[in-house]
Amino acid sequence: MRSDANIAGPMTDPVPGPRTESSFGEDVSRETPPPMDDTPIGRAAQLAVEALGRAGEGLPRPERTRVIVVANQKGGVGKTTTTVNLAASLALHGGRVLVVDLDPQGNASTALGIDHHAEVPSIYDVLVDSRPLAEVVQPVPDVEGLFCAPATIDLAGAEIELVSLVARESRLQRAIQAYEQPLDYILIDCPPSLGLLTVNALVAGAEVLIPIQCEYYALEGLGQLLRNVDLVRGHLNPDLHVSTILLTMYDGRTRLASQVAEEVRTHFGEEVLRTSIPRSVRISEAPSYGQTVLTYDPGSSGALSYLEAARELALKGVGVSYDATHAHIGAQNNPNMVEGIQ
Ligand SMILES: Nc1ncnc2c1ncn2[C@@H]1O[C@H](COP(=O)(O)OP(=O)(O)OP(=O)(O)O)[C@@H](O)[C@H]1O
Ligand SMILES: [Mg+2]
């Protein structure tokens, strides 16, 4: 057990009593209140949770580690932004969360402030050289309970190198299964393609989260992703399903955004989170400071909407109905909350 292991926090167990799932350490206390982060950034982020008025309310912990694949082969729809901000939100809600950066661009590693120059041990070593995941995972500065397996530029060659390797589709799955640290969530940030890297993610996870940008052509190409999910479920991973759709870059001022949202909701129904993410300057600025929006500007509509989406995701995961009072926090019905026109 690592010394930084600490999953004490406002998340509460849906079922009291010791956890039977082996992936959770029995030496981890769930009774202790969350340690207040002693860095200014950590404290500010903690305030964001409190801004929602529910810091002490507690969120249910999943009974076992939820492995969530954030995928959409369309580029620039908000996969990375969603991965890092949801992960940080879940950690701020008290969860213990690992982000696996599976994109050679390494954007998730950058956004989390994780060093990922070419010599850093990375997810490439895990996939291609069977290095244990524990040897590449780094704690994320400023967010208690958040960890990252970084991607380096080496990963660009992995799509090709994997082709000739044994069990080329299930190398990430094996690495995750062998990872012994207790985790509530693993979020995997996929590249904008459906190659072997994304297939590795789909084999490793049970849930697919598809971010959909509220723009024209939002649904284009989704059929291909859904067919791939079906193929992987049929041949390699019977548990795989699309559990969550998240509407991103929602601009409450445009009719197009609400039309796209309506179309997505008609098409997917229950899988679509009630919370959508507003288009927000703060969200797009945060990565250049190596931060998530949760630490960069905790009170912004972007930060609050990701916190709310995380809450909805956590509640859905344990079958607890979600009170959507705050689902519109991200400006859906309140265009004044869109930064820039306040
Ligand atoms: N809610 C938002 N408001 C404003 N800008 C956003 C928002 N979400 C994402 N962006 C910006 O849009 C761009 C694309 O987002 P992101 O990198 O998360 O997409 P992606 O799907 O991971 O892209 P890729 O396919 O290249 O991996 C980034 O510059 C990001 O900062
Ligand atoms: Mg990305």
What is the tens place of the pLDDT at every residue in 59-113? 889 999 999 999 999 999 999 999 999 999 999 999 999 999 999 999 999 999 9
Q: What mean pLDDT comes out for the span 169-186?
A: 96
Number of the ligand closest to the Cα of 82: 1
pLDDT-derived band of residue 221, with 50, 70 and 90 as boundaries? confident
Which residue's CA is the nearest one to ligand 1's atom 8? 78
Ligand 1: lining residues by beta carbon, under 6 Å: 75-81, 103, 107, 192, 248-249, 277, 279-280, 283-284, 302
Q: Is the predicted pLDDT of residue 342 greater than 70, yes or no?
A: no
pLDDT-derived band of residue 323, with 50, 70 and 90 as boundaries? confident
72, 179, 241, 306 from 202: Cα distances, Å: 12, 18, 9, 23
pTM above 0.75, yes or no: yes
Which of 69, 72, 77, 80 has most ligand 1 atoms within 8 Å of its beta carbon, as the pocket-test mutant? 80
What three-state secondary structure class fits 146? strand
Q: Mean pLDDT over all residues of the chain? A: 83
Which residue's CA is the nearest one to ligand 1's atom 10? 284
Take residue 212 and report the two structure tokens written for it: 């959909």
The strands making up 207-213's β-sheet, listed across from edge to edge, are 138-139, 146-149, 97-101, 185-189, 66-70, 207-213, 241-248
Q: Would you say domain 33-335 falls under CATH 3.40.50.300?
A: yes
At position 160, the amino acid (one-letter code) is: I
* Complete DSSP assignment for 251-299: -TT-HHHHHHHHHHHHHHGGGB-S--PBP-HHHHHGGGGT--HHHH-TT
